């Protein structure tokens, strides 16, 4: 905490993402003020915090006493000025459109000093455009989380055209102090890095299903029990490199050029998801749920519990808890 001079944090907009971010910041020792226009959202955030803390207790990650301390660091208000006035870092997680974010960011900065860093959780809007109504756009930065932020370490840090380098450094240092893995983008792009990678894979899955190569369930299994297991350990470039032996990734890929190009020629390159997408996925996902074991969870709620438990185990293996 000394490194960043950040002593207190505010989360503005505490729906799905803001509430989870706030829990993480409080978990890592920061006093956090949660602010929302809707009283119901504040109540929901409080309830979610308790439920998520219970999961951490049940999995032996924190004690009941620590959970109480974490809750003690979280305060709730509908008063924006009160929430942001005395903090050094603000995470904005309001609705995903310029019409809401632009005035909200201008309002937030009116109550803070110019050296307060403001991060927006936006999933796809441009930081430069979100900052258009700000007097000090240089301290706005994209801090794109992966859901749920209190568990998934990745946060993608994106500069707008006017964002200063000190803001990038302070933001990364703060996120690291919370146990997160910040990845900084050199340019603003829609979907950041992670969502582009996800959509690239998903385009290919839909294409394979549409072309009757496999079912949606089998595409999931092929990924889960093949590359997915390795990707949970290392990124794809490092995995390729390890498989390449003495030659290394560059030479090996060069030697496989003919085979790689053959694949690429045949793969999906379309620019719009097909109109049958809803129907294709709805049918396929039911089949995938039916194929799951009782332990893996055959309903969405049970599968979610299984996913979160496995996620905690993976995070333990990565020393991220």
DSSP state letter for 144: E
Please report how the helices 39-58 and 64-72 are oriented relative to each other, as an axis angle in degrees rounded to 10.
160
By the rule CB under 6 A, 12 interacts with ligand NAD? yes
Provide the minimum distance between the beta carbon of 278 and ligand NAD in the complex, in angstroms, as a whole number: 19
Question: In this complex, which beta carbon is closest to ligand NAD, that of residue 38 or of residue 68?
Answer: 38
CB–CB of 112/84 below 8 Å?
Answer: yes
Site string (71-110) toward ligand NAD, x via CB under 6 A? ----------------------xxxx---x---x------
Q: With contact defined as beta carbons under 8 Å apart, do 5 and 174 qualify?
A: no
d(CA 163, CA 153): 23
In the bound state with ligand NAD, the residue whose beta carbon lies nearer, of 13 and 182, is 13
Here's the x/- map for ligand NAD, 109-148, by CB under 6 A: it reads as: ------------xxx--------------------xx-x-
Question: Least distance from C-beta 65 to ligand NAD, angstroms?
Answer: 29
3-class DSSP state for residue 184?
strand
Residue 148: which of 180, 177, 116 has the closest Cα?
Answer: 180
> DSSP secondary-structure letter at 140?
E
Cβ(138)–Cβ(162) under 8 Å?
Answer: yes
CB-count exposure of residue 159 (10 Å: 0-12, 13-18, 19+): buried
Nearest residue relative to ligand NAD (C-beta): 15
- Is residue 52 a contact residue for ligand NAD (CB under 6 A)? no
User: For ligand NAD, which stretch binds (CB under 6 A), given 36-44, 46-54, 156-164, 269-277?
Assistant: 36-44
Q: How far apart are CA 282 and CA 107, in angstroms?
A: 42
129 exposed, middle or buried (CB, 10 Å; 0-12, 13-18, 19+)?
middle
Select the residue interacting with ligand NAD from 16, 57, 126, 201 (CB under 6 A).
16
Does residue 5 interact with ligand NAD by CB under 6 A? no
For ligand NAD, the binding residue among 8, 15, 179, 273 (CB under 6 A) is 15
Least gap, CB of 190 to ligand NAD (angstroms):
12
- In the complex, the residues that contact ligand NAD under the rule CB under 6 A are 12-18, 35-38, 41, 93-96, 100, 104, 121-123, 144-145, 147
């Amino acid at each position: 905490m000394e490194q960043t001079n950040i002593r207190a944090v505010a989360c503005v907009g505490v729906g799905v993402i803001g509430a989870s971010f706030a829990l993480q910041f409080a978990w890592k020792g920061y006093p956090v003020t949660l602010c929302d226009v809707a009283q119901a959202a504040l109540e929901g955030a409080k309830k979610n915090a308790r439920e998520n803390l219970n999961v951490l207790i049940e999995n032996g990650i924190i004690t009941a006493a620590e959970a109480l301390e974490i809750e003690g660091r979280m305060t709730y208000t509908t008063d924006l000025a009160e929430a942001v006035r005395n903090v050094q870092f603000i995470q904005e997680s309001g609705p995903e459109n310029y019409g809401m974010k632009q005035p909200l960011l201008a309002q937030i900065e009116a109550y803070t000093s110019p050296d307060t860093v403001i991060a927006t959780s936006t999933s796809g809007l441009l930081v430069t455009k979100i900052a258009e109504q700000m007097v000090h756009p240089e301290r706005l930065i994209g801090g794109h989380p992966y859901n749920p932020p209190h568990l998934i370490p990745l946060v993608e840090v994106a500069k707008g055209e006017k964002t200063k380098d000190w803001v990038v450094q302070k933001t990364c240092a703060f996120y690291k102090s919370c146990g997160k893995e910040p990845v900084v983008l050199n340019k603003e792009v829609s979907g950041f890095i992670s969502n582009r990678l996800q959509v690239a894979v998903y385009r290919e899955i839909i294409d394979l299903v549409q072309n009757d190569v496999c079912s949606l369930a089998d595409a999931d299994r092929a990924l889960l029990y093949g590359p997915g297991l390795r990707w949970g350990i290392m990124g794809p470039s490092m995995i390729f490199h390890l498989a390449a032996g003495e030659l290394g990734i560059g030479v090996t890929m060069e030697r496989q050029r003919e085979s790689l190009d053959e694949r690429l020629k045949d793969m999906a390159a379309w620019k719009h998801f097909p109109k049958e997408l809803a129907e294709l996925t709805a049918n396929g996902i039911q089949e995938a749920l039916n194929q799951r074991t009782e332990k893996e969870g055959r309903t969405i709620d049970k599968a979610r519990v299984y996913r979160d438990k496995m996620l905690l185990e993976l995070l333990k293996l990565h020393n991220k808890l």
